[in-house]
């Protein structure tokens, strides 16, 4: 019987736990751990009511390697599924190394004191994980994750050469709040306010934050304005997709959201350095996080859909081809199924599938891997089976 330790108790974790619990033949025992045990207990109670599956819960400070090691040993788990904050990735990987247990996450490491995320810190673990004969699967969410698999599937089945990839991400939903983020506000705001970057002809090029934009007609949602950003999956895809000439990432934002974001920046509330307030050290962005709605609380009244995919251009049988591979996900439907909104759902389902690939031995290899380095076929089949069906279309217009 396979055992999995899931670390983190936010919106994504709620989806992961529900989806794992629905597959007892793969996930024989589930342990859910977080700094705040009451959040784990709430998820476990909901899973018990919906699926009649028992979830064990534990309190855990995932920054403390020794604590995580002790918990892994206590429950003799086969895999650690990390859906905690990206700041904690390396500490959890260290615990997996010490206990020789496989590791999976959905977002790459980011230092808490610097708004900069990249894979170099986790890639540096390659030899250690290989020598320990254990696997680390990085970025098994949607983007990164499913978008990497779309590219791997396209490379294997749809193209002889891939030249251009544009990852396009639209949340066309409405949660009814004046301003809220769909996942952890700290990570979300740090990501959006960073400089844009894209890879072209073997080098990285940068732009001012949200300065490059264009309209795009998203299936299931309609035309929305999307903005060029930096996103982590490009860092590995530009190395692993053969013949690639350019890769970019785009995300949509409404005008009201951007107005609030400008006010936050103008007031300095996006700062991640400490300020002194009446003798107390306060990080403005951490304070702002406390004032904003919990992303998990948005789910109940969320309406509309997400539409996320990859516009891929290249050559097949000597001819130029352009394909769009995408998924549409409905906020109301995901809330009905697992009590979460679609942004959490689109990340949580691929995390479960990635864990399933490892635990069943389909992806069992030693070392550190990004998603597109692995065979995409069964993963793509499981997306259709477990709630994220995808479409492939001939696409008439290129992304400018």
Per-residue pLDDT of the chain (400 residues; tens, 9 = 90+): 799 999 999 999 999 999 999 999 999 999 999 999 999 999 999 999 999 999 999 999 999 999 999 999 999 999 999 999 898 999 999 999 999 999 999 999 887 766 677 899 999 999 999 999 999 999 999 999 999 999 999 999 999 999 999 999 999 988 877 677 766 666 677 777 789 999 999 999 999 998 999 999 999 999 999 999 999 999 999 999 999 999 999 999 888 777 777 778 777 777 878 888 888 888 877 887 777 777 777 778 889 999 999 999 999 999 999 999 999 999 999 999 999 999 999 999 999 999 999 999 999 999 999 999 999 999 999 999 999 999 999 998 778 7
Residue 53 lies in a domain: no
Q: Looking up tokens 């400089």, which residue turns up?
A: 195
- Of residues 325, 335, 327, 278, the one with CA closest to residue 306: 327
- pLDDT of res. 114: 67
pTM, to two decimals: 0.93
Dig out the tokens for 335 from the structure: 């809330």
Residue 249 lies in a domain: yes
Q: Is the CB of residue 343 less than 8 Å from the CB of residue 349?
A: no
- pLDDT of res. 182: 63
Query: Rounded distance, CA 231 to CA 220, Å?
Result: 23
**What are the backbone dihedrals phi and psi of residue 264, each rounded to the nearest 5 degrees, phi first?**
-55, -45
Residue 187 lies in a domain: yes
Q: Per the structure, how many domains does the chain have?
A: 1
Q: Is the CB of residue 32 less than 8 Å from the CB of residue 6?
A: yes
Length of the chain: 400
Q: How many helices (H) and strands (E) does the chain have?
A: 14, 18
Query: Rounded distance, CA 275 to CA 192, Å?
Result: 22
Residue 227 lies in a domain: yes
Residue 85 lies in a domain: no
Residue 112 lies in a domain: no
Residue 24 lies in a domain: no
Write the CATH number for 297: 3.30.360.10
Residue 168 lies in a domain: yes
Note down the domain range covering 189: 146-339
Query: Rounded distance, CA 235 to CA 225, Å?
Result: 24
Q: Looking up tokens 């990987």, which residue turns up?
A: 93
Q: Which pairs with CB-CB distance under 8 Å and at least 24 residues apart come from 377-381?
A: 377/153, 377/156, 379/149, 379/350, 379/353, 379/354, 380/149, 380/153
Query: Rounded distance, CA 372 to CA 369, Å?
Result: 8
- pLDDT of res. 252: 94
Dig out the tokens for 179 from the structure: 């301003």
């Amino acid at each position: 019987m396979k055992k999995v330790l899931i670390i983190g108790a936010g919106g994504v974790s709620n989806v992961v736990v529900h989806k794992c619990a629905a597959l007892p033949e793969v996930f024989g025992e589930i342990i859910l751990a977080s700094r705040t045990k009451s959040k784990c207990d709430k998820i476990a109670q909901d899973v018990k009511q919906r699926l009649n599956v028992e979830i064990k819960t534990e309190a855990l400070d995932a920054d403390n390697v020794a604590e995580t090691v002790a918990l892994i040993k206590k429950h003799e788990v086969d895999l650690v599924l990390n859906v905690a904050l990206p700041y904690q990735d390396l500490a959890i990987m260290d615990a997996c190394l010490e206990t020789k247990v496989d590791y999976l996450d959905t977002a790459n490491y980011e230092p808490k004191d610097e708004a900069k995320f990249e894979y170099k810190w986790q890639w540096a673990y390659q030899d250690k994980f290989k020598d320990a004969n254990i696997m680390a699967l990085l970025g098994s969410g949607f983007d990164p994750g499913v978008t990497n698999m779309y590219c791997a599937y396209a490379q294997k089945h749809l193209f002889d050469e891939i030249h251009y990839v544009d990852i396009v991400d639209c949340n066309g939903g409405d949660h009814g709040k004046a301003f809220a983020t769909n996942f952890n506000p700290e990570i979300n705001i740090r990501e959006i306010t960073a400089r844009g970057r894209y890879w072209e002809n073997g080098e990285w090029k940068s732009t001012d934050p949200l300065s490059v934009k264009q309209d795009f007609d998203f299936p299931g949602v309609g035309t929305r304005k999307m903005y060029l950003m930096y996103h982590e999956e490009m860092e590995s895809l530009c190395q692993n997709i053969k013949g690639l000439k350019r890769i970019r990432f785009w995300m949509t934002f409404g005008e009201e959201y951007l107005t609030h974001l400008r006010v936050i920046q103008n007031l300095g509330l996006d700062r991640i350095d400490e300020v002194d307030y009446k003798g107390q050290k306060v990080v403005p962005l951490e304070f702002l996080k406390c004032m904003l709605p919990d992303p998990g609380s948005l789910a109940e009244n969320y309406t509309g859909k997400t539409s996320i995919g990859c516009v891929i251009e290249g050559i097949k049988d000597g001819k130029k081809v352009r394909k769009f591979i995408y998924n549409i996900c409905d906020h109301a439907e995901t809330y009905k199924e697992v009590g979460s909104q679609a942004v959490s759902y689109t990340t949580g389902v691929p995390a479960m599938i990635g864990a399933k690939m490892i635990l069943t031995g389909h992806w069992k290899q030693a070392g550190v891997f990004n998603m597109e380095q692995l065979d995409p076929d069964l993963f793509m089949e499981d997306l259709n089976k477990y709630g994220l069906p995808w479409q492939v279309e001939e696409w008439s217009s290129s992304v400018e």
